[in-house]
Chain A
Amino acid sequence: MIGELGLRWIVTLAFAAAGAFCLYRCVRQGSAAHRVCDVLHALMCAGMVAMAWPAAMDVARVPQIVFFSVAALWFAGMVVAGRKNRLAFGYHALMMAGMAWMVLVMPLAMAGAMPASSGAGSGDHAGMAMGGATTMIGDSPAHVTIVAAALTVVFLVAGTAWMARAVDAGRGDSSLRLRTAGLVTNGVMGLGMALMAAVLI
């Protein structure tokens, strides 16, 4: 769950757009196996949107964990079966496993969360007293914090790398827009995963 409303909406819109693109690409092109990959990614995006909102973060937790675990196995199978892009499929497997793990530990991480009001600071300038901010300060167990920190770094680096490829692709042939959009979508999903993992720290 993301405590900050603005950030919650940013995550929601980003994953909604990424999910919509995955569905669009699924309809437009790809082999049966890769259409399955797109559907899995679209459902992962829906799961991330649900996880961001307090009311939805606990919905169908066990089915979600099972589903994302199976999705991770699917991508792991693609790594084993495929000859090309094993690294990318391995990354997608890690993403699905990370998703299952986050659904699993989210209640644990949020159990100690409490709203924390920031101090008034030094309102020495007239009319400029600092606003009292409210944020969620989590008190996650150590093992959750360690894994979440590792996932944050991994997905931050991966998301940035996808974005770098998207930038390089974007300056190239304009007929490859779908491919560029796919790379951007991967970047958005990776960075969104990093953000969600960071919330658990």
Chain B
Amino acid sequence: MSIAEREASPAATTPAPAAGWAALRPLLLRLHFYAGVFVGPFLVIAALTGIAYIYTPQLEQALYDHELHVPAGPGALSLDRQTELARAQVPDGKITAVRPAPTGTDTTQVIFDRPGLAPSYHHTVFVDPHTGEVRGALETYGSGQSMPVRSWLSTLHSSLQLGDFGRLYSELAASWLWVIVLAGLALWIGRRRRERRARSVLLPAGGAPGRRRLLSWHGVVGLWAAAGLLFLSATGLTWSLHAGVSVSELRSALDWKTPAISAAAASPAGADVGFQAVRDATARAGLSDPVELRPPGKPGKGYVVQQIQRSWPEKQDSMAVDPATGRITNTLRFDDYPLAAKLSRWGIDAHMGLLFGLANQIVLTALAVGLICLVVWGYRMWWLRRPVRGETRFGRQPVRGAWRRVPGRVLAPVLVGAAVVGYFLPVLGVSLLGFLLLDVVLGLRNREVAA
């Protein structure tokens, strides 16, 4: 037999596959069903812990009122004096940043690195800018200066306090969420023509309780929440353990990285005008509060003063200051960031509920509650499909062999696309492979039982 014969297509032996939507729908239904059943619990956990996390700004203000706030008073000590007072409390620490009190009723935060701290954690001393009284010290986290309660809830949301292993749960949820949402959207919008009136697509059906009404609520809420859920999935993946690496590589390759200000300074080592002079110079140049001042990390570097407002309108401008002269050597405006870097900043802050304050928090809460309802309704519909007689306790699954009805010209690009996506989102890829293997094993077992 020649290659030509070996590769020729014997059409007579191949059943004609279904065309178009009729072929794709069963495949999407199986995908939506199995992925939903598998990932549903993780999505519920992510939604619940996410709701708790969203309100941590208010929680922080209440729990750490003594550290964060002071009575209004006349005048203020210089930043250099305040840092001296804080440094006396942490003899083994090295100052990495100072956040001057943005208003008369806030404390100044002096941020230290000290031995024994986990990566990205800081030791922060809170100083009354009017009296110099040290109001307390806390272990804070990251560029957002999360207080302990926010750090704890954040870790709960991201990893269930289980370290890198626990991060797989949130990555699994974020990796599958967009797949489930897109498949669900296609299924809902692509329903049979007689059911596809605009009202039934956009608004939930009334009538007697039952599977049909649940399906209507599941579809309509899913439709309205889809854009928000896709956003949460995409931004959530940027923090994930494995897919986050792919996102970082993509941003690097496309030059979408957040620009960093150059703080090179040609001043002689040891010369230092101090925090207050640096802050005064940048304030005169128009850099308004709230800001963070980072001292030179090594000789040849200058101070960096960075705005830290994460709510709209974001303040993220930064300036570099020569430590010897107090002269501003460089300025980086948020307005000059590449669009992708701005979108990244806005996306992260919106995901964390910071960008639009209370409105942002309410929208995220609604999305999370909607997601929980979608999962619960999905399980409920499965339960309602169970046989009322016999020993089977679970509902019927969508029929097997859906792929056999999809034409190769449709299925092959889908498979290639899935392989590419699975590579860049490895948790999705590995779990998808697991699904397929399990499905094959179950299919073989069913065949044996039937025989």
Contact = CB atoms under 8 A, between A and B. Distances in A.
- Tell me, yes or no, whether A binds B: yes
A58 to B, nearest CB: 25
Contacts of A34: 1-3, 6
A50 B226 CA distance: 46
Q: Which of B163, B241, B345 has most A Cβ within 10 Å? A: B241
Given A30-B1, A88-B4, A159-B416, A122 B154 contact: no
Interface stretch (A60-68, A95-103, A130-138, A142-150): A130-138
B146 interface: yes
Contacts of A141: none
B449 interface: no
A123 B15 CA distance: 53
B408 A173 contact: no
Contacts of B141: 126
Interface of B: 1-4, 6-10, 13-15, 17, 119-120, 141-144, 146, 150-152, 154-155, 157-159, 163, 167, 238-241, 244-249, 251-253, 257-258, 344-345, 348, 352, 403-404, 406-409, 411-413, 415-416, 423, 426
A10 B157 CA distance: 33
A128 B167 contact: yes
B13 A176 contact: yes
A160 B154 CA distance: 42
Nearest to A88: B7
A88 B154 CA distance: 56
Interface of A: 6-7, 10, 25, 29-31, 33-34, 37, 82, 84-85, 88-89, 116, 118-119, 121-133, 135, 137, 156, 159-161, 163-169, 171-173, 176, 178-179, 182-183, 186-187, 191
A74 to B, nearest CB: 12
10 contacts: A33-B2, A88-B3, A118-B252, A119-B248, A122-B344, A128-B154, A169-B9, A172-B10, A179-B7, A182-B6
Q: Which 4 A-B pairs have the closest CB atoms?
A: A118-B248, A164-B408, A167-B408, A172-B14
B348 A176 contact: no
B2 A130 contact: no
Nearest to B310: A124
B252 A121 contact: no
Q: Which of A126, A135, A159, A172 has most B Cβ within 10 Å? A: A126
A160 B17 contact: no
A7 B423 contact: yes
Given A130-B239, A159-B416, A186 B1 contact: no
A125 B408 contact: no
Contact of B157 (A119, A125, A186, A187): A125
A116 B239 CA distance: 19
A168 B14 contact: yes
A179 B292 CA distance: 67
Contact of A128 (B7, B10, B159): B159
B354 to A, nearest CB: 9
A121 B244 contact: yes
A5 to B, nearest CB: 13
Contacts of A127: 154-155, 158-159, 163, 167
A18 to B, nearest CB: 15
Given A116-B252, A119-B258, A179-B6, A128 B158 contact: yes
Given A160-B412, A160-B416, A121 B248 contact: yes
B245 A133 contact: yes
A191 B8 CA distance: 20
